[in-house]
């Protein structure tokens, strides 16, 4: 995957809030890029359409938090840990309810 663009402050250039799932830019952190790809594939492929908005809002909330983490001195490490944690939570929720793999 291509690496994410970085701002001069070292902040990962995460997608804007208005982005659609197909426009999500990679973070350049394998754990985050893999998590987002699997999450979106699960939501788009297995979650009933009338339930997708809530799951996508949850992802967007994470992305906003991750942008703040990226600005930290150890931003890459913080993002890696946050995405690993999000993947575990999603595995428990989405794998059980919808059969998604994380």
Alpha-carbon gap, residue 41 to 37, rounded angstroms? 6
To the nearest whole percent, how much of the chain has pLDDT over 70? 77
Q: Taking 50 as the threshold, does the pLDDT of residue 12 lie above it?
A: no
DSSP per residue over 69-85, as a string? HHTSTTHHHHHHHHHHH
- The residue ranking higher by pLDDT, 102 or 3, is 102
Alpha-carbon gap, residue 51 to 12, rounded angstroms? 29
Q: What is the pLDDT of residue 25?
A: 78
Q: How confident is the model at residue 7 (pLDDT cuts 50, 70, 90)?
A: very low
Q: What is the pLDDT of residue 23?
A: 63
Determine phi and psi for 27, rounding to 5 degrees: -90, -20
Six-digit token pair at 99? 């059969």
**Hey, where are the domains in the chain?**
21-98
Alpha-carbon gap, residue 34 to 27, rounded angstroms? 10
- pLDDT tens per residue across span 37-62: 999 999 999 999 999 999 999 999 99
Alpha-carbon gap, residue 75 to 96, rounded angstroms? 31
Q: What is the pLDDT of residue 16?
A: 42
- The residue ranking higher by pLDDT, 62 or 9, is 62
């Amino acid at each position: 995957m291509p690496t994410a663009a970085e701002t001069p402050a070292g902040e990962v250039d995460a997608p804007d809030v208005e982005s659609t799932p197909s426009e999500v830019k990679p973070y350049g952190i394998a754990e985050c890029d893999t998590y987002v790809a699997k999450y979106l594939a699960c939501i788009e492929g297995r979650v009933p359409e009338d339930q997708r908005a809530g799951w996508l809002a949850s992802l967007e909330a994470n992305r906003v938090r991750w942008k703040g983490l990226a600005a930290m001195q150890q931003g890459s490490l913080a993002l890696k840990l946050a995405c690993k944690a999000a993947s575990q939570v999603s595995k428990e929720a989405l794998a059980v309810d919808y059969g998604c793999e994380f």
